[in-house]
Structure 1
């Protein structure tokens, strides 16, 4: 199964190399990856690290989430026979540690604290307008898709139309603000792992809304 994802990754990289007339050597040097290492990644003989994916995404101007998914990292749910649909806090800590990125102490408690703050902020006029005015821009800037993005879009429509109880709408608003605000538990600029906590939040709120029914 893992090898299939590496082949998908190679296909994406190869496509962008061809459109830019880049050889493996040129791409490696441009991205700051040893060409021999990049060649092994392309041939499925070595798994790409988060650092490799970050450099390739930046160099080729590819949404980082696309490369993460192709490389088999657990970001989104779907019909895959792995645990991607339920990335735990421990898995996220492992990925951050592997990429030598903070915060390696990522926890559910940190996320809950942020959500509580955003829920309170959403009840203010400024918070309400932030959701309505900035959500679309953030979606565009994210440059990726998948079930968690689709869920956020669905919640935005629901929030905008005020469909749901006050408790449900407050939970949805906290998730939307968590996505919109750049500096959350894992800052969004820490590519390509910046949105792992956003996926985590979507799953937490989805479960809470289900339990509330």
Structure 2
């Protein structure tokens, strides 16, 4: 109830509030729309068959770059990691399998983590929770949650849940995160959250300094 009150104090109209849509939802949904146009499943599959891995990597980084989801050092690390043909190919193939592969989600997630861990790096590591989760969130907001660890864990703590955490992404921790988000979504179902964009925004309001109590 405290979480609900805080969100509605900031956005009295809830998830249909005009200010909420302007501040929190529109740019994330616009990133998803652009993804569907450039890297929807059929387009993504065609680009892979044509071995246009650099084009895939460029499109993905360009779509993400127009959001404020990743820190600047993560954006730079990703751009560096996919600059080379080998990096772009590894990134493109692993991302497609994560989003559209036939294996079970635990295997797909762990394979994605391992692929990102192996990408070329310069000054900054590429393997962070935000970078691992941002493309699933943009591409499939009905399924995947974007994790900013500090803010999300603070939100969970205020909600009365201590999320297990390690700096290296892993399926068990992501599974626990999704379970927590499903519980919150059930608790606020009468507010009619549409997808993980609404859920990420709801929890962001709870844990971010942008929205003080």
When normalised by structure 2's length, the TM-score is 0.29
> Highest relative contact order (Cα 8 Å, sep 6+), 1 or 2?
2
TM-score in terms of structure 1 length: 0.29
